[in-house]
Amino acid sequence: MFSWFGNNDDLQKQPPPPSYRDEPDNIPSGPHYSQLAKKLRPLDLPCLNVLRGKRVILASASPRRKQLLAQIGLTKIDVVPSDFAEDLDKAKYTAIEYVMETAQEKCMSVYKQEIDSDEEPALVIAADTIICSYLGAIVEKPLNYQDHLDMLKGLRDAEPHKVITAVCVMSPLEDGAAPGYTMETHVEETIVKFDKNVTDELIESYVRTGEGSDKAGGYGIQGLGTILVESISGCYDNVVGLPLRGTLKAIESVVFPQEMEERDIVL
């Protein structure tokens, strides 16, 4: 009997999917985050109300991050992907240092590019997501078909891994005081456990859908990739690509820096 979960010796061999470069993003069918947000009233929070009608930039081409921001009411987002090469030497950083530095570099590059434009941004949001294996190795996006297969099999066969996302938010200071902007960062970790009974055939079938080709770790938990996952511990939307609670706190910190400083002093 055929089963997705068990031993299947005779795997069907088919040609690999198209190149991983310049592929359109594959968003699962069904209601999108942005469609759900349109049916709800936006969050009535001072930090978000201040931004309405102003230019908010997402320094990422990820449609998932844009959809998640729509969840909290930031539906008018200007997408300006960062041109940062993301080529930091992983050997010189811990996983958290690496993802944090990458997010800050992404945010700063777009901020510098757009701050002198005709329409100055009120806010720039950048993020970077990586997978950290139980041994501490940094896992990013798959490079090709075979790398994608090996990556998912490795995550299945190993102990639970961490999904780490760093968020960096920048906003210009109204008084122009040095350095001219305020910046806040946030790091979120979520533990994800793959189902060890997932077969090679199911992994191969999933890889051929193309869904995970542009995602850290090679899978999308919000889509078909959920069939590979047994459990998670921590923030779900962090695994999707943007921890909303932490992002919201970072936005509040840069929109109202003085108020946040005074509150911290009181606390």
CA distance 120 to 71: 24
Q: What's the token pair of residue 210?
A: 């193309």
Running DSSP on this structure, what letter comes out for residue 198? B
- Among residues 44, 83, 89, 128, the one annotated as catalytic is 128
Can you spell out the DSSP letters for 201-254?
Answer: HHHHHHHHH-GGGGSGGG--TTTGGGGGEEEEES-HHHHHT--HHHHHHHHHHH
Residue 128 among the catalytic residues: yes
CA distance 202 to 228: 9
Answer yes or no: are the C-beta atoms of 2 and 197 closer than 8 Å: no
The residues, ordered by sequence, that sit 6+ positions from 15 with a Cβ below 8 Å of its Cβ are none
- What residues are annotated to the active site? 128
